[in-house]
Structure 1
Amino acid sequence: APAKDEANPYGLSALWSNGDVIARGVLVIMLIMSLGTWFIMITKFIEQGRLFAASKDATKNFWTKRSIQEGSSALSPSSPFRYIADTGITAAEHHEGTMQEAIDLHSWTSMSIQRAVNNIQNSLQKGLAFLGTVGSTSPFIGLFGTVWGIYHALTAIGIAGQASIDKVAGPVGESLIMTAIGLATAVPAVLGYNLLVRRNKGAMDQVRDFADDLQSILIGGVRHGAGTEGIRVRPDNSPTTVTTSERVG
Structure 2
Amino acid sequence: MHTVVAVKNLLVQSGASWVLWLLFALSGGSIAIAIERWLYFRSKDDDVRALAAELDAHLSNGSVAAALDALRPMRSVGAIVARAGLRLAPRGSAAADKGMQSAMSAERKALETRLAYLGTLGNNAPFVGLFGTVIGVILAFEQLGQATGAAGGGAASQVASAAVMAAIAEALVATAVGIGVALPAVAAYNYLQRRVAAMLDDAETLSNLVLAYLATGEAAQSSRVDSARAVHGGVSIDKPMNGEASRPEAA
Contact conserved, 2:82 with 2:206, CA < 8 A, in 1? no
Q: Distance in 1 between matches of 2:14 and 2:50?
A: 53
Tell me the percent identity: 26
Q: 39, 50, 54: which one pairs with 2:43?
A: 50
Contact conserved, 1:54 with 1:81, CA < 8 A, in 2? no
Q: Secondary structure at the match of 1:126?
A: coil
Deviation of 1:186 after TM superposition, in Å, equals 0.8
Q: Distance in 2 between matches of 1:84 and 1:40?
A: 25
Deviation of 1:213 after TM superposition, in Å, equals 0.7
- 1:86 to 2:73 alignment: no
Q: Secondary structure at the match of 2:163?
A: helix
Matches within 5 A, 1:1-249: 21=14, 23-53=16-46, 55=48, 58-59=51-52, 61-65=54-58, 67-75=63-71, 76-93=73-90, 95=91, 105-161=92-148, 162-163=156-157, 164=159, 165-222=161-218, 244=225
Contact conserved, 1:88 with 1:113, CA < 8 A, in 2? yes
Moved over 6 A (4+): none
Q: Residue 178 of structure 2 aligns to which amino acid in structure 1?
A: G
Q: Secondary structure at the match of 2:24?
A: helix
Q: Residue 24 of structure 2 aligns to which amino acid in structure 1?
A: L
1:91/1:24 CA distance change after superposition, 3 Å: farther
TM-score by length of 2: 0.68
Q: Secondary structure at the match of 2:16?
A: helix
C-alpha RMSD of the superposition: 3.0
Q: Residue 32 of structure 2 aligns to which amino acid in structure 1?
A: F
Unpaired runs of at least 5, structure 1: 1-18, 96-104, 224-237
Contact conserved, 1:45 with 1:196, CA < 8 A, in 2? yes
1:110/1:178 CA distance change after superposition, 3 Å: same
Contact conserved, 1:88 with 1:218, CA < 8 A, in 2? no
Q: Distance in 2 between matches of 1:62 and 1:117?
A: 18
Unpaired runs of at least 5, structure 2: 1-11, 149-155, 227-251
Q: Which is higher, the Rg of structure 1 or of structure 2?
A: 2
Deviation of 1:129 after TM superposition, in Å, equals 1.5
